[in-house]
Chains A and B, each alone.
Chain A
């Protein structure tokens, strides 16, 4: 590289940095899912600490993992799903910042302190959490919605009116629950039963897609496997939809805020983590995403319509959501084969 081009490269680089440095004392770079952060909360943080926040987005846990592994991203914070936190810790990609010593840690709902992906919260704090079940039109189907039987043994009025999430684990875990079989299952007899169940279900399924909300809301389907926050939004557009808490069980998930190894703005990242566990700030996240946070006392700041919604939190008497770990390689392969056959 000649001296001139080196100089111009540096000049360009310096030009790029300038707008960031000019405004605020510090900066903070967040790597997050698309459309998954309250701008109101970000503005409040920026004003309070005089820190310029940038948000970049990814579309899957795996994309995020691939980029973090390069070790040169320059991000401070990321928002991995539960199982991904476990992987990031194992791979040594996140900082052990001990959020359990932070001032606002006292606000954490006790049930989220000893989670399988981060026992005692040495690395992460809750972002928001939700459940994966299904929503069904009570105009079309009049019976009890709180059972997986509606989905796996659909009555005639629902046949051909079903959308399943295009996700191997969400579908197979629901099938295993319906059959009363253990998760991360490699028993050939059990998997044959799952295969038989899915084969029988296949003709009744209209589509496999992530657009459950759009499909259910527009009346393209009358039963859709869906996340609770989306089910809430779908019901706003179509009042006869009811979210199910099946008696056989259903999946729970939580996204978590973590600090990336070698974060350039470590102190600001910690500040943000603590800031998120303030009830008022956590409520901003809930109001924006439609999902519950893990912070005590935030309920009074949550939009009342959302707070009392059936979808928002599992009601009394419903089984507890099940947080499913990643299965071993052998199970993943077996599931993938089953899934490919099902989609064929």
Chain B
């Protein structure tokens, strides 16, 4: 009964074994990546035998024409798909979060997020059949279209949740003070929503940059991306060049995820949750 009588719930950290389990999880999650990064500096050709420190694999990767082309494709696809997906996601979030409730708005919410729940391979095969049906030649454009579609829910979720913590009365107050809907949107809604939009965009960017299954299916001549390039090299033998490329990818992903976290955090300081309003 003593337990139930406590006023404060017991902190999770005080449970026995918490540290061990946490440590184990972090170990399993991050050691493989650490090994990958360490062996990217291997002087040896083998990926499992250490032969001293060297930057030769980074140099090799930098001089590899096929690799650079793939990296460029990845970047082009990620930038365009992120921009379009974020714009659509912002519009969708505003429509579902601020607009009048419409029939089927719950169904719409599910529909937007469906790509998160469907197995990727199904989307991949479906998208390929769709393009085939349209008779559209596979190219960078088809990759961009496919990426835009599956990036939308990734961008939508942070924007929508940001919108939910924003006080709708601020916009109403703007209207009361004779701001036109457009001005209210430009000077009140948009600046408040920006952190959500940025973190949504960064998430979409990372997801687009990492995607393999869908991209492999819808890539056409000369439009293979970095993950496709890396994966198809594996069977011919793994060299630390792969580790070097993967390390660079990893670094880009980490920087973006971290940036999106800090942007969201910095932004949340400026908004008081609705419950604290007098």
Report the nearest A residue to B49, measured CB to CB.
A218
Task: Give the residues in chain A near B231, CB-CB below 8 Å.
Answer: 34, 59
Decide if B222 touches A29 in the complex (CB within 8 Å): yes
- Out of B128, B140, B232, name the residue touching A33 (CB < 8 Å): B232
State the CA gap A33–B235 with chains docked (Å). 9
Task: Give the residues in chain A near B137, CB-CB below 8 Å.
Answer: 72-74
Task: Give the residues in chain B near A73, CB-CB below 8 Å.
Answer: 137-138, 220-221
**Chain A: interface secondary structure?**
mixed
A269 to chain B, nearest CB (A): 12
State the CA gap A34–B49 with chains docked (Å). 23
Decide if B224 touches A57 in the complex (CB within 8 Å): yes
Task: Give the residues in chain A near B222, CB-CB below 8 Å.
Answer: 20, 29, 54, 56
Task: Give the residues in chain B near A66, CB-CB below 8 Å.
Answer: 125, 128, 217
- Out of A35, A54, A74, A218, name the residue touching B236 (CB < 8 Å): A35
Decide if B238 touches A34 in the complex (CB within 8 Å): no
Which residues 121-161 of B sit at the A interface, judged by CB distance below 8 A? Answer: 125, 128-129, 131-132, 135-141, 144
Task: Give the residues in chain B near A13, CB-CB below 8 Å.
Answer: 139, 141
Flag the segment in B40-48, B90-98, B174-182, B199-207 that touches A: B40-48
Given that A59-B231, A67-B128 are known contacts, is A211 also in contact with B138, CB under 8 Å in the complex?
Answer: no
| Chain B CB within 8 A of A55 CB | yes
B80 to chain A, nearest CB (A): 7
Proximity string of chain A (177-213) to chain B, C-beta cutoff 8 Å, 1 when within and 0 when not:
0000000000000000000000000000000001101
| Chain A CB within 8 A of B17 CB | no
Report the nearest A residue to B137, measured CB to CB.
A74
Given that A57-B229, A237-B45 are known contacts, is A12 also in contact with B131, CB under 8 Å in the complex?
Answer: no
Task: Give the residues in chain B near A74, CB-CB below 8 Å.
Answer: 137-139, 220-221
Task: Give the residues in chain B near A220, CB-CB below 8 Å.
Answer: 48
Given that A12-B80, A12-B144 are known contacts, is A29 also in contact with B237, CB under 8 Å in the complex?
Answer: no
Report the nearest B residue to A217, measured CB to CB.
B46
| Chain A CB within 8 A of B23 CB | no
B239 to chain A, nearest CB (A): 9
State the CA gap A233–B65 with chains docked (Å). 24
- Out of A59, A75, A76, A214, name the residue touching B235 (CB < 8 Å): A59
Decide if A34 touches B232 in the complex (CB within 8 Å): yes
Report the nearest B residue to A233, measured CB to CB.
B237
Decide if B232 touches A218 in the complex (CB within 8 Å): no
| Chain A CB within 8 A of B66 CB | yes
State the CA gap A60–B232 with chains docked (Å). 8
Decide if A70 touches B221 in the complex (CB within 8 Å): no
Question: 19 interchain pairs (CB within 8 A)?
Answer: A12-B80, A16-B141, A34-B229, A35-B236, A56-B223, A57-B229, A59-B234, A66-B217, A72-B132, A72-B135, A72-B138, A73-B137, A73-B221, A75-B220, A214-B47, A218-B46, A218-B49, A233-B237, A237-B46
Question: Which residues of B pack against A, CB within 8 Å?
Answer: 45-49, 65-66, 69, 76, 80, 125, 128-129, 131-132, 135-141, 144, 216-217, 219-224, 228-229, 231-238
Question: Which residues of A pack against B, CB within 8 Å?
Answer: 9, 12-13, 16, 20, 29, 31, 33-36, 39, 54-60, 63, 66-67, 70-76, 210-211, 213-214, 217-218, 220, 230, 233, 237
